[in-house]
């Protein structure tokens, strides 16, 4: 979508899409690789490209690794105008429906090009019809097996299709819109509400609120902002638009004195609000989105806490407002918060598939105020990325030691921990010998492959890794990708009991595509005595900021601060794991 100014995540996705469509069109492979390299550079850039361009123009963009003059000009157009004629033409040449075929597992750009040009298939619907009619099998080097795989892939896509957007995709859009509206005179308070504020992993529509006594200019700016594909409503106190990525955004303008009541109502959830209205009714009050009323008497609240207090309730954090016990049980006073996080225990460097070296990631973590980070590059058996051999692990340890020496000399207050993300093989064995793992400060084990193993088999596999005395954390246990892949089918209680018994923490992976453990599994894990980590799995400095999404999942799971190991001081963390 086009929002101006564009953020780095949006720019990165555009250049990835340019690479996909260019490859389908049969463009020069070097040009395709250049677009992919640009997408990776942009994703890993710590500063917004719009700021870099504003300060130094094209020369500043071209100083970035992998950004040549032509790509810099394209970035210039996008950050300046929110438009790129080249991209619009490419989308016309290679329709969205053709590009969408790349989402079918096993279909790469060359196959998509073959099917499109030979059969005239330009959408997933036509692809399914062609495969059902046996037309795909007749293409060169395809056959019945490939045709069945395509039908299975389309069925899997349908199963995952929810019509909802990832929170990690919606949150930057919400931030950009609110930042723009903040510049409008008279906008006193701004917030997003709905499922995004409640910390859900996927979002249907985006709900925004503004407190103002002069709503007209705010609504006018909202409905006319770049990126709007259609205006669905344009009233005196409400605007509704559909963005060009399909997301519907609703903005409500309210009076400042009812801010708390309205924010509570539009945050939801529906079931939580029903219970709250019932409580108000029992006390003789009627509650709507703006006020409590009893006859002619009305009470409005400028903040949410005052509304809850008036009804005899403690403040209920937005993430807990799902009618899942928040009215019957005490609200945890030490519910995990982003400010509690002392470190990040999963990230990658150029030793595997990360964008920066060890010191580069350390500098990025310093900017976030962390006390420690754990470097966890992939090991060699994963295959899909460059991974560490035993010798590489030893060499990386030396680099980490040098980084720590520099940081100590600078009195930086950050310690880089020596770790690895060790691959759990199909047998349950780890792909590094124990004598190498013993050298690490902390070891994370992760299951990336053969996720479709039967429940008993994959549960035994994960438990075998948990029982290795050198493993401290089990990373993104389910292995799911939201709206893309379901992940493993574990006997979760057996897994959780094994983790608790062996003092192995279970990771909530804060990558918005994963958020694994999910909230239900995280809550059950803690009930069975497990400890958790919340880590970003960052491959770029920008991804370190995804911690907020993992913390939201933990809050929705009612997880308290002491149950998350990377809220602990470094000394306690290392002593707990016997390091």
**Residue of 474, 373, 455 lying closest to 415 (CA atoms):** 373
The residues, ordered by sequence, that sit 6+ positions from 517 with a Cβ below 8 Å of its Cβ are 476, 477, 478, 506, 507, 508, 509, 525, 532, 553
This prediction's pTM? 0.80
**Residue of 320, 324, 311, 258 lying closest to 281 (CA atoms):** 311
Q: What pLDDT is stored for residue 13 in this prediction? A: 87
**Residue of 298, 303, 290, 330 lying closest to 314 (CA atoms):** 330
Q: Judge whether 166-320 and 338-576 match in fold.
A: no
For the domain spanning 166-320, the CATH number is 3.30.460.10
Q: Give me the DSSP letters along 355-371.
A: SS-HHHHHHHHHHTT-S
Residue that has been written with the tokens 């980070």 in this structure: 373
Q: What pLDDT is stored for residue 62 in this prediction? A: 93
Tally of residues, the chain: 579
For the domain spanning 97-160, the CATH number is 1.10.150.20
**What CATH architecture does domain 8-94 belong to?**
Orthogonal Bundle (1.10)
Domain ranges of the chain: 8-94, 97-160, 166-320, 338-576
3-state DSSP assignment of residue 317: coil
Check if the beta carbon of residue 420 is closer than 8 Å to that of residue 440: yes
Q: What is the mean pLDDT of each run of 10 residues along the chain (579 residues)?
A: 62 91 90 88 82 92 90 93 91 92 86 93 93 92 88 78 85 95 96 98 96 97 92 94 90 96 96 96 96 94 96 98 96 97 97 93 97 96 82 97 98 98 95 96 95 94 97 96 87 98 98 96 98 96 95 98 98 94
For 338-576, which CATH superfamily applies?
Metal-dependent hydrolases (3.20.20.140)
CB atoms within 10 A of CB 497: 16
Q: 123: buried, middle or exposed (CB in 10 Å: 19+, 13-18, 0-12)? A: middle
Q: What pLDDT is stored for residue 549 in this prediction? A: 98
Which parts of 439-491 fold into alpha helices (H)?
A: 455-466
Check if the beta carbon of residue 131 is closer than 8 Å to that of residue 147: yes
Distance CA 273, CA 304 (A): 13
Distance CA 538, CA 61 (A): 23
**Residue of 548, 552, 482, 512 lying closest to 170 (CA atoms):** 512
């Amino acid at each position: 979508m086009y929002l101006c100014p564009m953020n780095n995540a949006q720019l990165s996705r555009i250049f990835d899409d340019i690479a996909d469509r260019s490859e389908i069109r049969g463009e020069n492979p070097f040009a395709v690789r250049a677009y992919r390299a640009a997408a990776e550079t942009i994703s890993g850039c710590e500063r917004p490209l719009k700021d870099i361009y504003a300060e130094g123009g094209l020369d500043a963009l071209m100083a970035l690794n992998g950004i040549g003059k032509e790509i810099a000009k394209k970035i210039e157009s996008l950050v300046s105008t929110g438009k790129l004629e080249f991209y619009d033409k490419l989308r016309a040449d290679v329709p969205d429906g053709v590009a969408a075929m790349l989402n079918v597992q096993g279909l790469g750009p060359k196959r998509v090009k073959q099917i499109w040009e030979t059969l005239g298939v330009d959408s997933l619907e036509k692809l399914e019809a062609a495969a059902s009619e046996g037309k795909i099998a007749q293409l060169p080097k395809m056959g019945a097996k490939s045709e069945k795989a395509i039908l299975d892939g389309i069925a899997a896509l349908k199963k995952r299709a929810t019509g909802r957007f990832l929170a990690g995709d919606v949150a930057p859009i919400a931030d950009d819109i609110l930042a723009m509206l903040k510049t409008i005179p008279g906008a006193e308070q701004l917030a997003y509400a709905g499922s995004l504020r409640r910390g859900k992993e996927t979002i249907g529509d985006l709900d925004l609120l503004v407190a103002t006594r002069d709503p007209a200019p705010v609504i006018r700016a909202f409905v006319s902002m770049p990126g709007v594909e259609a205006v669905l409503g344009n009233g005196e106190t409400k605007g509704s638009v559909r963005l060009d990525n399909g997301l519907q955004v609703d903005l409500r303008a309210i009076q400042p004195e009812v801010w708390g009541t309205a924010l509570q109502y539009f945050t939801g959830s529906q079931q939580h609000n029903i219970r709250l209205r019932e409580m108000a009714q029992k006390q003789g009050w009627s509650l709507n989105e703006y006020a409590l009323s009893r006859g002619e008497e009305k009470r409005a609240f400028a903040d949410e806490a005052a509304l809850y207090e008036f009804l005899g309730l403690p403040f209920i954090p937005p993430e807990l407002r799902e009618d899942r016990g928040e009215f019957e049980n005490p609200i945890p006073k030490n519910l995990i918060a982003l400010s509690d996080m002392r470190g990040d225990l999963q990230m990658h460097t150029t030793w595997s598939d990360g964008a920066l070296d060890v010191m580069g990631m350390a500098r990025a973590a310093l900017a976030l105020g962390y006390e420690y980070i754990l470097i966890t590059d992939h090991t060699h058996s994963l295959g899909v990325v460059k991974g560490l051999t035993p010798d590489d692990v030893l060499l990386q340890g030396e680099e980490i030691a040098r980084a720590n020496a520099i940081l100590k000399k600078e009195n930086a207050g950050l310690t880089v921990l020596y770790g690895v993300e060790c691959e759990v093989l199909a047998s349950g064995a780890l792909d590094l010998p124990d004598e190498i793992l013993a050298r690490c400060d902390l070891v994370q084990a992760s299951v990336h492959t053969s996720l479709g193993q039967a429940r008993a088999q994959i549960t035994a596999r994960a438990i075998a890794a948990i029982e290795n005395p050198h493993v401290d954390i089990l990373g993104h246990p389910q292995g799911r990708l939201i709206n893309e892949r379901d992940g493993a089918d574990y006997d979760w209680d057996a897994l959780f009991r094994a983790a608790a018994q062996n003092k192995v923490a279970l990771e909530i992976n804060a990558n918005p595509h994963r958020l694994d453990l999910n909230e239900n599994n995280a809550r059950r894990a803690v009930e069975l005595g497990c400890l958790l980590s919340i880590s970003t799995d960052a491959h770029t400095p920008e991804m370190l900021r995804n911690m907020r999404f993992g913390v939201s999942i933990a809050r929705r799971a009612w997880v308290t601060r002491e149950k998350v190991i990377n809220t602990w001081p470094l000394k306690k963390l290392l002593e707990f794991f016997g390091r």
